[in-house]
Structure 1
């Protein structure tokens, strides 16, 4: 699933100032709001992206009339779609296309994420439309599932933040129930996590529609595990457990909570499943 990843290398406020320095249209508005934007960026970092005690800026405080509010909000959001020669085009492209990730840090699905998710939605927080700390590489599915959802009833984040949360450890386990050739699976958030993190992980999983996606992925991935076990048993050079452990060590490089790593680790922790893979019938055919 989710992984803690390094923050963007560029200073967010430096990038903001470069962007504002290029603005010609609405210069009066940007001159007024610039100090508040910088302060809000600092607060975002201090709050670790949590919306509690960080309400959106009231744009009415920086315009001359009510009619200006919506156009200026659209202008702030529009900073996220710069022309190639403008800031922060290159910085966004680096996060989007050159992130060097091997799995989505929001859900753990294998493959390099090619879109950016606004952790706090730009429709609610237009001031964070180009805050690099608010932009996380994500797969298309995660971005589509999250949309503008971002907080729980208490006003705190309902999603894990890959730049701030300490989540580079196993967060959940998949349990397999008989028949082990075509098992029924269930998910359990690891109880060795703090209660606060357990609640956040559960909320995050639900918010990105993790379970329905993983169940579909499991069907094909488990057949690969059956093939690994069959090959190990036929070859006789290594045990099935050793073969699965080797596969786990390869996949965990993508992230400790990437989907394959979770599946291999869950099997390695289940003696009954391992016994089946070592000694059971691995085919539906006689």
Structure 2
């Protein structure tokens, strides 16, 4: 997972709210009336995130939910441009929630807008994520059983970016490398507090990160084996070069971590050396 704390705007920032208020939508007058209470909740947002022992109170503006959400789902032109730019952020090369490689094109409302519509247009409540995380997270937020939020907010915490992933590849028969098993260890820094470690584990479990990372690794493994059988390039050399080129992503990029495991596996090393061009 990459560190996206740089996306955070100053506390209480309401430039998107101002764009909405200065638009020509039919409900602008109603939105103007709601502005003081929305600003009040904007200023409470960070305190609400820090309160991890209980679920946030039911929204006081649910009666105005349709109006508030409409400025996100059907935004006026200038606001729509801003939302689109945030959604299509090409600087994000993996999902901030799980680390899945690729450009995460879904904007998630960390506090779901259907439950807390006052945060529909708060920039800091909108985080890019992949489709798998979007499906898993959906409208959920708090885990009553664990008395904790299920997810870690990537914009407010860099703890996920410090995790280390280590794939292990088991090949029972050296003569049949297409029969294999991949396992994954997600290492949490030991200096994290017990509370933080529990939250990280709940985040990993809730989004099924281990399952999806292994599925990705299995597909990627077979792609590399297929390439090696074509004998067109030195696969081992390619793996090592990819690792060097992406050195900063070594610890938790799914693809790079798998390539590292493959480049160090004795059976695979022998296979790649036997299938040089």
Instruction: Give the TM-score band, short-chain normalised.
Output: 0.7 to 0.9
Which of 187, 192, 201 is the equivalent residue of 1:190? 187
Matched residue pairs, number?
Answer: 261
Q: Superposed, which structure 2 residues align to 1:1-286 within 5 Å?
A: 2-5=1-4, 6-7=6-7, 12-22=13-23, 25=27, 27=29, 30-31=32-33, 33-48=34-49, 54-59=56-61, 70=63, 72-86=64-78, 88-153=79-144, 154-166=146-158, 167-179=160-172, 181=177, 182-193=179-190, 194=192, 195-226=194-225, 240=236, 244-251=239-246, 256-266=251-261, 274-279=265-270
Contact 2:20 2:76 in 1 (8 A): no
Does the residue aligned with 2:7 lie in a helix, a strand or coil? coil
Contact 1:49 1:120 in 2 (8 A): no
The answer to which of 242-251 and 120-129 deviates more is: 242-251
User: How big is the shift at 1:105?
Assistant: 1.9
Relative to structure 1, the CA distance from residue 258 to residue 210 in structure 2 (aligned partners, 3 Å threshold; closer, same or farther) is same
Q: What are the Cα deviations for residues 189-242 of structure 1, in whole angstroms up to 9, with x where unaligned?
A: 31434233433333223323334433332222113444788899x96xxx94x6
TM-score with structure 2 setting the length: 0.76
Q: What are the Cα deviations for residues 216-271 of structure 1, in whole angstroms up to 9, with x where unaligned?
A: 32222113444788899x96xxx94x653422233456685332023234556xxx
Does the residue aligned with 1:12 lie in a helix, a strand or coil? coil
Relative to structure 1, the CA distance from residue 196 to residue 220 in structure 2 (aligned partners, 3 Å threshold; closer, same or farther) is same
Relative to structure 1, the CA distance from residue 125 to residue 171 in structure 2 (aligned partners, 3 Å threshold; closer, same or farther) is farther
Instruction: Give the unaligned 5+ runs of structure 2.
Output: none
Separation of aligned partners in 2, 1:175 and 1:185: 6
1:64 aligned residue: none
Instruction: Give the unaligned 5+ runs of structure 1.
Output: 60-68
The answer to which of 257-266 and 143-152 deviates more is: 257-266
Separation of aligned partners in 2, 1:228 and 1:170: 30
Contact 2:21 2:32 in 1 (8 A): yes
TM-score with structure 1 setting the length: 0.74
RMSD of aligned alpha carbons: 3.5
